[in-house]
Amino acid sequence: MAHEADIEIVTFGPNDPEDPRNWPQRRKVGIVAMLCVMSFCAVFGSSSYAPGETQVEKVYGVSEVIASTGLTCVRSAYLVRFFTGCAAACPLNNGTGLSADMFNNDMKKLGKALLYYFCPLSGPVFGTLVGFFVAAKSTGSALWVVRVHFFFSIAVLPLAYMLPETHGPTLLARKAKRLRAEGRNAYAAHEVRKLSKMELIQRHIIRPSVMITCEPIIQGAALWISLAYGIIYFFFEAYPVVFVKQHNFPFILGGLPFLAIPVGMVFVMVFFEPILRFSNSITIPGVTTKGSSLATPEGRLKVVVSACFLMPISLFWFAWTSGPETHWIAPTLSGIPFGYSMYLIFSCFNAYSSQTYTIYASSASSCNVFVRSLIASVLPVLAHYLLDNLGTKWGGMHSCFVSWISELKKGGAVSIFGFLSLGLLPIPLIFIRYGASLRQHSRFAQEALSIVADMQHMRQKQHEGGTTTSTISEEHNQAPLNQGITSTLSEELTQVDNIAENDSVLGVV
């Protein structure tokens, strides 16, 4: 590499057309739409198979549990599903960063809402809806529910090659490479120092593993997110029992009750700001004061308290009205508060983690994704045992405790999740009351704050002309070579590789 004294640092100018934030609005909306479709497709297949399980049982003569796995050869499936998981993770994990790369303020919030929350959460719901229709129409084959997702994936595949790069540091590196080909000694900031293989392993594997093990904030957030996400996949087994078997829905319409869940999600997306203001105006005795500041990470957690209360209410509502003696509209409508609470739980706890760990937000998010995916992979298999032994509802409350236990044994699989969510209710209250102390004693939160402060200090010095480093932007492409890059800035630039990759996380929330 060239001597530091000769290096020109490449940056984006205010009106640089290569900066994704300066791209035409139509192009940015098109990119978001493409990634929305890819994210939707990635999770669509996780549930579209479920309605076809009954056909698989009949055609191949296997049990419910074996049919729910969707496997014919376990050894090959391990390998294939590994690559499937890797491919599906790409659009799901890139949504937040992409919206932050291209948008500011309200458009960034909308992009994140669509890419990171609505599409991944609604995809399984619509996958089940389509799965019921396909399974009902394809009586000659039990595999059409799988083929539909295969054809959907093939149709979406070209979008992966049409998506442009939006990551700022990567675009700056390409720009610097082009300038070097023209004879300039230009480098992007994060090119000054490249990460070693051990540093990459430490950043992407070791750090998230340590965080999920040692950070109470991540553990609490992961518990709530995993429970909400896992219940969705439990519902894929419970809804057919309730509406097809108990309420005698035509099989082709068995997925329609799922539509109540995205209705609750859309309600939050549309009215989030009024909901946030109303929640902030409420005082929680012993926990918060009226009108607490939204500037702190805990300030936006008050809104999730309502979601955490609504979650068990919606589950008990569904459980206790799921019997054939109750009109089908009652358990169907329980999906609206469930969708409302699930969306808020996802968005608020992820936002809290992002604000707490700032540049380490990607590691925190990966912890949540890992735990929730693990839970979601197990619950569909356990659902059969729970539904067969406990049923879908709570048999009733009686004055005699022994009778209550016997009734609960007869029915209450969904009620179990209601009680689990009740047990997790203290988590958001603890975060609101003691979150500042938890952040202060968190190694990763304090380390991230220190790096962000250094980054802001470095940028301030560059804006004030306090360094002698030359900067190449689109407006100053012919900037003269300035000699004598300072050792202080050189040391700060070695930290930029830790910042640049996750810089898009800053200000997302």
Provide the pLDDT confidence category of residue 448 given band limits of 50, 70 and 90.
confident
468 plus 372 within the same structural domain:
no
DSSP bridge partners of 8:
186, 470
DSSP bridge partners of 36:
none
Q: Residue 458: its pLDDT value, please? A: 67
Q: Residue 493: its pLDDT value, please? A: 37
Residue 478 placed within a domain: yes
187 plus 272 within the same structural domain:
no
Q: Residue 333: its pLDDT value, please? A: 94
336 plus 272 within the same structural domain:
yes
Q: Residue 109: its pLDDT value, please? A: 60
Range of the domain at 262: 216-381+413-441
Residue 351 placed within a domain: yes
463 plus 360 within the same structural domain:
no
Q: Residue 357: its pLDDT value, please? A: 87
User: What's the structural domain count of the chain?
Assistant: 2
Longest Cα–Cα distance in the chain: 87
Say whether 470 sits in a helix, a strand or coil: strand
* 449: CB partners within 8 A, 6+ apart: 358
Provide the pLDDT confidence category of residue 329 given band limits of 50, 70 and 90.
very high
- 349 within 8 A of 442, measured Cβ to Cβ: no
What residue has token string 């300030």?
A: 299
Residue 393 placed within a domain: no
CATH number of the domain encompassing residue 256: 1.20.1250
- Segment 387-414 mean pLDDT: 49
Percentage of residues of the chain with pLDDT beyond 90: 15
Residue 203 placed within a domain: no
- Check pLDDT > 60 for residue 481: no
334 plus 231 within the same structural domain:
yes
237 plus 275 within the same structural domain:
yes
- Check pLDDT > 70 for residue 301: yes
pTM of the predicted model as reported, rounded to 2 decimal places: 0.77
279 plus 423 within the same structural domain:
yes
Neighbours of 431 (CB within 10 A): 26
376 plus 425 within the same structural domain:
yes
283 plus 425 within the same structural domain:
yes
Provide the pLDDT confidence category of residue 216 given band limits of 50, 70 and 90.
very high
Q: Residue 264: its pLDDT value, please? A: 92
CA distance 424 to 305: 11
471 plus 369 within the same structural domain:
no
Question: Which residue intervals of 281-412 are DSSP H helices?
Answer: 302-320, 329-333, 335-357, 361-390, 401-410
* 76: CB partners within 8 A, 6+ apart: none
Provide the pLDDT confidence category of residue 317 given band limits of 50, 70 and 90.
very high
CA torsion sign for 94, 100, 102, 103 is positive
174 plus 232 within the same structural domain:
no
427 plus 279 within the same structural domain:
yes
Pairing of strands 8-10, 186-188: parallel
Residue 55 placed within a domain: no
Radius of gyration of the chain (CA): 26
Q: Residue 488: its pLDDT value, please? A: 32
CA distance 149 to 77: 17
pLDDT in tens, 261-277: 999 998 988 888 888 88
- The two three-digit tokens of residue 419, written as one number: 């009680």
- Check pLDDT > 80 for residue 81: no
The edge-to-edge listing of strands for the beta sheet with 8-10 is 186-188, 8-10, 470-472
- The two three-digit tokens of residue 453, written as one number: 């402060």
Q: Residue 96: its pLDDT value, please? A: 65
- Asked which of 141-145, 201-205, 216-220, 335-339 is least confident by mean pLDDT, the reply is 141-145
Provide the pLDDT confidence category of residue 431 given band limits of 50, 70 and 90.
very high
Residue 282 placed within a domain: yes
- Segment 469-486 mean pLDDT: 39
- The two three-digit tokens of residue 175, written as one number: 């720009």
Residue 258 placed within a domain: yes
Phi, psi torsion values for 507, nearest 5 degrees: 80, 5
**Mean pLDDT over the full length of the chain:** 76
Residue 158 placed within a domain: no
pLDDT in tens, 152-183: 999 999 998 898 888 888 888 888 888 888 88
